[in-house]
């Protein structure tokens, strides 16, 4: 998403951050298979470090994007009534939204990371288009 924002000249207007719901990988770098898939597409994931999402972040962010419906449910629970409108499933963006889960490739081979990257890129482009259309209204 950061790369798309930079290409669109919007990197100064939107902030992107990443976090998981669990704490079991906090401080660790990305999985080597993920880094390889990213590197093959021209992304540098070497600086990524896992963080745990905090409910207090709802006050600081306009949008919180979940990768799957389990995370969506957990984030909606954390959001409370006040911040429900900020939580979206990644695959809910764009005209071709499927609402499918972005699968966790962790227990598979390297090709799963490439497949997940394909999905993430597609829906990040759709999310950016949706956000741009909101800004112009």
Q: What is the pLDDT of residue 137?
A: 55
Most confidently modeled of 3-7, 11-15, 81-85?
81-85
Q: What is the pLDDT of residue 109?
A: 86
Model confidence pLDDT, tens digit, residues 60-88: 999 999 999 999 999 999 999 999 999 99
- Name the percent of the chain lying above pLDDT 70: 97
Q: What is the pLDDT of residue 110?
A: 87
pLDDT (average), residues 98-106: 93
Check pLDDT > 80 for residue 134.
Answer: no
Q: What is the pLDDT of residue 136?
A: 60
Q: Concatenated DSSP letters for 50-114?
A: --B--GGGGGT-S-EEESSHHHHHHHHHHHHHHHGGGEEEGGG-STT---PPPP--TTS-HHHHH
Structural domains of the chain, ranges and CATH numbers in brackets: 2-135 (3.40.50.2300)
Mean pLDDT taken over the chain = 92
86 vs 34, 42, 61, 81, 110, CA distance in Å? 27, 30, 8, 10, 32
**CA dihedral over 65, 24, 119, 128, signed as positive or negative:** positive
Please check whether residue 45 is in contact with residue 34, taking contact to mean a CB–CB distance below 8 angstroms. yes
Check pLDDT > 90 for residue 132.
Answer: no
């Amino acid at each position: 998403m950061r790369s798309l924002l930079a290409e669109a000249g919007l990197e100064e207007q939107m902030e992107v951050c990443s976090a998981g719901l669990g704490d079991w990988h906090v401080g660790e770098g990305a999985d080597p298979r993920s880094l390889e898939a990213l590197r093959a597409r021209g992304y540098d994931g070497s600086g990524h470090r896992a963080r745990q999402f905090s409910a207090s972040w709802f006050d600081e962010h306009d949008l919180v994007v979940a990768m799957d419906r389990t995370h969506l449910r957990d984030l909606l629970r954390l959001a409370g009534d006040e911040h429900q409108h900020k939580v979206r499933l990644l695959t809910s963006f764009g005209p071709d939204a499927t609402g499918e889960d972005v699968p966790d490739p962790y227990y598979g081979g390297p090709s799963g990371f490439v497949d997940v990257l394909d999905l993430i890129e597609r829906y990040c482009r759709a999310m950016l288009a949706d956000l741009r259309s909101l800004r112009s209204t």
